[in-house]
Amino acid sequence: MTANASFMLDLLEVASEPTRRRLVQLLGSGERAVTELAANFTVSRSAISQHLLLLIDAGLLHARKDGRSRYYSLDPAGITKLKALLDSFWNTELDLLVAEAAELASSNGPPHQPPGEKP
């Protein structure tokens, strides 16, 4: 496995956890302070900060400090990588489905029609 593939698997794992997935959704509408984000969850602000750090480490978020407040926003490059990763899984699955359908069609001839149904 290449280092890049390892990063992509980590990216998917980090983004798929429900709390982190919700944080990414919340940040889709723009930059927010950690206190504003934490207000959407029943876990502590500290727990939310831990999730945000993982999202930063995965390259999905940016953080900036303004005085005593910390603000988070999506990292467009990281979100693009996540989208490409998800698209690659989707495309692979579609390719497999098409190949299976073609194999079935060639080995079985025309599809079977139940009695009484018109093609």
Query: Do residues 15 and 56 make contact, with C-beta atoms less than 8 angstroms apart?
Result: no
Query: pLDDT tens digits for 63-105?
Result: 999 999 999 999 999 999 999 988 887 777 778 888 888 888 8
What predicted TM-score, i.e. pTM, was given to this entire model? 0.70
Exposed (0-12), middle (13-18) or buried (19+): which is 79, by Cβ within 10 Å? middle
